[in-house]
Amino acid sequence: MPPVAARGAPRGRPLTAGGAVPGDGFRCAPAGEERGESLAGTASTFRGFLLVEHAGAWGVEALHDARLPDGVGPALKSACAAAGVKPLLMRRPGRSRPEGCRVFAAFTGYADRPAYLETAVLDRPDDVLGLDLAALRAGHILGLTRHDRPVFGVCTHGRHDACCAERGRPVAAALAAAHPEETWELSHLGGDRFAANLVIFPHGLYYGRLDADSGPAVAGAHLRGEVDLDHLRGRSSYAPAVQYAEIALRRELGVLGLHDVRLTGRAVVGEETRVAFRMGSSSYAVVVRSVRGPAVRLTCRARRAEPALVHELLGFAEAEASPDPG
């Protein structure tokens, strides 16, 4: 993976008046492709996710703008922030009206705690506030119904970012045609410029730059127990540099098995992260440098140019794995 970063980039540079303002027709996803931005190491970093069904409009900020019962959206947002859990609204493609409120609680796996997915249908959205979100973040079972099938969640949140709707909805439709029970549309996932974005639960695998052909292909690979390295952004339970290191190692060794690469350690010194992985009886050390890139417009709605974190592979070798994962 070649470096894609420049050091010492300015942060928060205002956009000029030459048309680079919301409403000017700018689209962040094509711009990111033109810049040649790497997908690797760009997944959101959460180990607990709470998905709440809401078939209506989501507005710009889903938990504030969606027509949930009074106070539920802000209360849920606050509770999830306190617990370190990412809340998402979900709906079926086509916006069919559900009976009750389906929720999924996903722990993406970390260290000795395996990934899991639980679900329930609540009588009212208010009932979601009674879930133990701190336990979810820590990887403890909540006592809902175990869900053994994956969830394929596509970001289609067009009011938040136009690219998510324009690129996400065709992917959601294609996935729903192939996997109707597993497919959901989701509110803002993060990384709008990588649309169409897909996250697969319970493992928290983020994929980007999908279309109506590659989306079902990624889902099919997952059902075979494999990752798709052409579109993988990273595993959400890992820090960005670790996500990048895992993908770099998999590319180098040609390893696709979902569970073939296990994180065993991480050490950070300044801009460099040394990551230890185990594969079978072998251990590997991967060294990644992470820096801030040049300020660019990261979303369709952005009013300021901002730098994004970008990564460079410095090297890897067989090595002893550290016992301190991170």
Q: What is the tens place of the pLDDT at every residue in 232-278?
A: 999 999 999 999 999 999 999 999 999 999 999 999 999 999 999 99
Of the candidates 262, 194, 259, 263, which has an alpha carbon nearest to the alpha carbon of residue 230?
194
Task: Please report the pLDDT score of residue 19 as a whole number.
Answer: 34
d(CA 259, CA 236): 15
Q: In this structure, what DSSP letter does residue 154 have?
A: E
Q: What is the CB neighbour count within 10 angstroms for residue 245?
A: 32
Higher-confidence position of 235 and 10: 235
Task: Please report the pLDDT score of residue 320 as a whole number.
Answer: 56
Amino acid at 241: A
Strand partners, 278: 262, 283
3-state secondary structure the chain: CCCCCCCCCCCCEECCCCCCCCCCCCCHHHHHHHHCCCCCCCCCCCCEEEEEECCCCCCCCHHHHCCCCCCHHHHHHHHHHHHCEEEEEEECCCCCCCCCEEEEEEECCECCECCEEEEEEECCHHHHHHCCHHHHHHCCCCCCEECCCCEEEEECCCCCCHHHHHHHHHHHHHHHHHCCCCEEEECCCCCHHHCCCEEEECCCEEECCCCCCHHHHHHHHHHCCECCCCCEEEECCCCHHHHHHHHHHHHHHCCCECCCCEEEEEEEECCEEEEEEEECCEEEEEEEEEEECCCECCCCCCCEEECCEEEEEEEEEECCCCCCCC
**Is the pLDDT confidence value at 138 over 50?**
yes
- Residues 21/309, Cβ–Cβ less than 8 Å: no
| Stated pTM of the model | 0.89
Q: If you average pLDDT over residues 52-68, what whole number do you get? A: 86
Please list the residue range(s) of the chain that carry CATH number 3.40.30.10: 44-237
Q: What tens digit of pLDDT does each residue of 199-231 get?
A: 999 999 999 999 999 999 999 999 999 999 999
Higher-confidence position of 147 and 8: 147
Summary mean pLDDT of the chain: 89
Q: If you average pLDDT over residues 52-71, what whole number do you get? A: 85
| CATH of segment(s) 44-237 | 3.40.30.10
Q: If you average pLDDT over residues 9-14, what whole number do you get? A: 41
> For the ranges 58-62, 164-168, 288-292, 317-321, which has the lowest average pLDDT?
317-321
Of the candidates 114, 18, 310, 50, which has an alpha carbon nearest to the alpha carbon of residue 193?
310
Would you say how long the chain is, in residues?
326
Task: Please report the pLDDT score of residue 23 as a whole number.
Answer: 56
